[in-house]
Chains A and B, each alone.
Chain A
Amino acid sequence: MKAADFAYEKPGNLADALALLADPDRDASPLAGGQSLVPMMNFRMAMPDLLVDLGALDELRGIAPGAAGGLTIGAMTRYADLEASELVATHAPLIAMALPHIAHAAIRYRGTIGGSVALADPAAEMPALMLAMDAEIEAQSSQGSRRIRAAEFFTGIYDTALAPGELVTAIHITAAPEGRRFAFYELARRHGDYAMAGVAVAATGTNRADPRIAFFSVSDRPVRAIRAEAALQAGDAEDAMAALDEIDFAGDLNADARTKRHLAGVVLKRALGRL
């Protein structure tokens, strides 16, 4: 279980990193925390020609208050840093709620928020959190920078709206309105495993206005439950649970699509109970 041969570069600044990633003659892959990419390379499921290690790019690290409230989180910010951050606990409580469920401490010391978002594993928590928080993902390439709304970012299994040569550099989380509430619930067979089903929910006030419901590990990508949101907006949690058939449930080794459908209802009910 050794990776195929690859070249390795550790650029000292973002411009150099983007230049390396832009080279059309090389199949370059950015290396963030490596918690998914390195195992995939060892299985030879990923065989990049060039690994661009982002570890020296301090400009991609850190958690800062956003310009209009909210937060800007550098893509190379590690889970462990998010866990320790008061800013995250205050302004992005969904992330704080989800972190203890993400793998194990050793992995959280290396894994990064940008790496998880860019990988777009449908079973991972972070992409669904982006949907629930209506976050924007900042992507840069040697051509410039753009912001992509989470709703447009995740396009399929391990698939995103990133263009070749584009790198996720930051996550922008808008300021939550007064009275915004959040809840998170997942069912994993062992603590730290990918969930059998999980959900992140946001809504405002006791009447749960403007709800956003985002599931993970139930389909080929993180999915919002639009009809369930509408039912909840109309004030009927039972209807919300019943409205999940809009989701294209996809089974895995632990649960077939029917079981995913059932468990999605359970996690939603339990999350709403915590909202």
Chain B
Amino acid sequence: MSGPLTIFDRPRDYIGQPVPRADTKRLLQGRGTFIDDIQLPRMLHAAFVRSSVAHGVITGIDVAEARALPGVVAVYTGADIAPHVEPYVGVLSHLAGLRSAPQMPLAVGVTRWIGEPLAMIVAQSRAVAEDAAALVTVEIDPLEAVTDMETALDPATPVIHAEMDSNLAWERTVDVGDVDAAFARDDVTVVERRFRFGRHTGVTLETRGAVAAYDPSEDELTFWYSGQAPHMMQFIFAKHLGLPEENVRVVSQDVGGSFGIKIHTYGDEVATALAAKLLGRPVKFVADRMESFLSDIHARDHVVDGRIAVDAEGRVAALAFDDITGIGPFSMYPRTSAIEANQVLNLTGAPYVIGNYRAHAKVVFQNKNMMCQYRAVGHPIAMAVADCLLEDAAHEIGMDVVEIRRRNLIPDDAYPTQSASGMKLDDLSHHKSLETLVETMDYDARRAEHAKLREDGIYRGLGLISMVEVTNPSPMFYGIGGAPIASQDGATIRLDAGGGVHVSSSVTEQGQGTNAILAQIAADVFGVPIARVKVTTGDTRTTPYGGGTWASRGAGIGGEACLQAAQALKEQVLEVAAVILQSAPGKLDIRAGAVVDAEGGAERMTLSDLARTVYYRGNELPADLKPELVATRHYRVTDFPFVFTNCAMAAEVEVDPETGFVQVLNFWAVEDCGRVINPVLVDEQVRGGVVQGIGGALYEECIYDAEGQLQNATMADYLVPMAFEMPDIVVKHVETPTKTSVLGAKGAGEAGTGGAPGAVMNAVNDALRPLGAEIHQMPMTPERILRALGKV
């Protein structure tokens, strides 16, 4: 980009390099501070009585025996807690028509899903709290449970919220061009498919948890939590527990994975904060694994009827679909449970030139655990629907699946442009990424090999996906709708007396390496060895105000704020140095921790000398020089609602037609996340994302029975993808920096999860096609594949 010289006009030591993470050793030595590591004086422990009935009227909760158990300090029911909490409703004004009902931390009057907290025990230990929980008797008059989302809107189905006329939470249609006319053309081939995407969840290594402490002398709540968005939670606790916002401090220290699971308002966590306030003692709650399965948000659970029309040249004439998704009994607060469906409407087909597009989604309530934003929100559905229809259509007209993409992907020189649904797109590289993918995976040779193997009864398949990923969101995502969710982030950088630098940032570290890339940026831009940079994130009291971790924005937004703050600090320091050295700022530079001559690089003084002069011996400075060795900058995306990235991926699978087993043999991903700050971290983000995507495609499913009981709430029965079954994942990069920032980084966190399911589904269908079978339901379990094959 033109304009002033930046860090990218000079040699760099760290940005773009596979710099090891500073926290690796600490974490591997077990010196991390996760929620369960926190021990406070006088701390109590919480356990919850959760509903075992999906829908019913609570007629009585007897807590007398529990209360009498030695070691129990308090027992609360929904009614006990209600006077102390302002109810919350998960709606956003820009999602027109979205409705939900007021929620309380513990159910009051009616319970609406199995796992909903009904009563809270606070005791000397978690074991005693669980003993007491077992002594609580809950009487529930069961109501008919609404579990099947496809019949949730039928007139005969009971309505979950009495104040509503149906179980519809939200509905939206996007209609562009003349879809009906395009499907009616006599020169197009139409392919129709019904897709089913199972419910699954994030399964974080560290389960949700919190320690809350309340100081009545100051009316202050401190809430340590394993989570993504401290400032959002600060607002929520202040508003709903009736505290001044500045009296709430939210701290996220080490977090063992989040994936979007830990960015919502959970009743058990609100109740934990309230109990600390009511008791004046610290209270710890750490969800056990079964509670996690029952109460961590679930995701996906869509049925999509999709169809595509392509002409004889393979050009897409029209794409249309109807989506229905069940979200549980409430829309999650404050991000709402309509975003995933909205993403499906916005993103399906977005990589392609599509003139005629109709998308319709219904979001319905049901008596199951709540659904909300999990990694790659909506993307797995959007990408699989478009690319599976496209590949099936290619086979229908006898065209290669790469060729049909070449004919429909938005040209790399067409930007800026917009998608069929109106999304503004810029700086994408679908064609370059696809060609890199084809070359990397040796596409033609693999096709030939598969044809040969088929003669021996070996059924292998290739499946591709061309996708976009929403990253670096602007206020158009949440803020515009009234949510306390910042899309901007800030960084403060301070030069300390010893010559070291401290970065404080409002983006947060969930294990993905945010702190590491902030240090890389600060070190390069300011000019110090990376070992001299310390980073603090995840504390509302000590970091600038910002949004935290969501929508793959840590590098793109938090990184840019850090870059700008480092640049500002550098200018401030050079101003001081110029006075001390009787030079001019433009003739000096900062390199490797020292002020040097810009020309020639001769060292003039170390940063430590400069800082000590400023901090200790101000008498040596002119009276009118007022040095500031700290700088803060905030950054938000202004030109676009989102900064999209693109990715081309392919899966190679082998299907065993006798057993229905699928083995993913190879996986390739060509990702364009703009400027790569740390290739190791980006590659592992992509790989981890792909693994979660393969999980959704083949393994993971929250299996409910007709009564709304979750059948597989253990790590033995809920199948997360394991290393043994995973393929090698080859990651390549195309770098098209976004013009929206100096740093040029887009997000890289979710493409794998968003694209891998569709690629795997295409590959499985490629393998099954010669056997006359097809499958469009995830996860593609052995039993479902055997059914598709007519074997069972």
List A residues at the B interface (Cβ < 8 Å): 1-5, 43-44, 187, 189-194, 196, 253-256, 258-259, 261-263, 266
Contacts and interface: CB of A to CB of B under 8 A. Distances in A.
Interface of B: 126-127, 130-131, 134, 288-290, 658-659, 661, 699, 703, 711-712, 714, 716-717, 719, 721-722, 724-725, 781-783, 786, 791-792
Contact of A190 (B127, B659, B724): B724
A253 B716 CA distance: 11
B703 A259 contact: no
Given A196-B782, A259-B792, A262-B786, A191 B703 contact: no
Most buried by B among A1, A3, A255: A1
A190 B658 contact: no
Given A253-B703, A253-B717, A254-B781, A262 B722 contact: no
Given A4-B134, A191-B724, A259-B782, 5 more contacts: A1-B290, A189-B719, A192-B722, A253-B717, A255-B782
B69 to A, nearest CB: 11
Given A43-B290, A189-B719, A255 B783 contact: yes
Contacts of B717: 253
Contact of A259 (B288, B661, B711, B786): B786
Contacts of B288: 1
Dominant SS among interface residues on chain B: loop
B722 A191 contact: yes
B127 A259 contact: no
Contact of A254 (B127, B131, B722, B783): B783
Contacts of B781: 189, 254
B659 A1 contact: no
A256 B721 CA distance: 22
A237 B658 CA distance: 17
Contact of B782 (A1, A189, A258): A189
A253 B781 CA distance: 11
Contact of B659 (A193, A256, A266): A266
A192 B724 contact: yes
Residue picked from B290, B658, B783, most chain A C-beta under 10 Å: B783
A259 B786 CA distance: 8
A193 B721 CA distance: 12
A193 B786 contact: no
Q: Which 5 A-B pairs have CB atoms at the shortest separation, nearest pair first?
A: A1-B288, A2-B127, A191-B724, A259-B792, A259-B783
Contact of B130 (A2, A187, A266): A2
A262 B290 CA distance: 32
A187 B126 CA distance: 39
A258 B792 CA distance: 6
Contacts of B716: 193-194
B725 A2 contact: no
A44 B714 CA distance: 14
A105 B20 CA distance: 30
Nearest to A256: B783
Contacts of A262: 786, 791-792
Nearest to A47: B134
A219 B744 CA distance: 59
Given A253-B711, A259-B786, A187 B659 contact: yes
19 contacts: A1-B289, A2-B127, A4-B131, A43-B714, A187-B661, A189-B661, A189-B719, A189-B781, A189-B782, A190-B724, A191-B725, A192-B724, A193-B716, A193-B719, A253-B703, A259-B792, A261-B792, A262-B786, A262-B792
A1 B134 CA distance: 12
B729 to A, nearest CB: 18
Nearest to A261: B792
A1 B722 CA distance: 24
A140 B45 CA distance: 43
Contacts of B130: 1-2, 44
A1 B719 CA distance: 20
B674 to A, nearest CB: 36
Contacts of B289: 1
B792 A253 contact: no
A153 B151 CA distance: 48
Contacts of B721: 190
Contacts of B659: 187, 263, 266
Nearest to A269: B658
A193 B722 CA distance: 11
A253 B725 contact: no
Contacts of A190: 699, 719, 721-722, 724-725
A259 B782 CA distance: 9
Contacts of B725: 190-191
Contacts of B724: 190-192
B312 to A, nearest CB: 41
Contacts of B719: 189-190, 193
A261 to B, nearest CB: 8
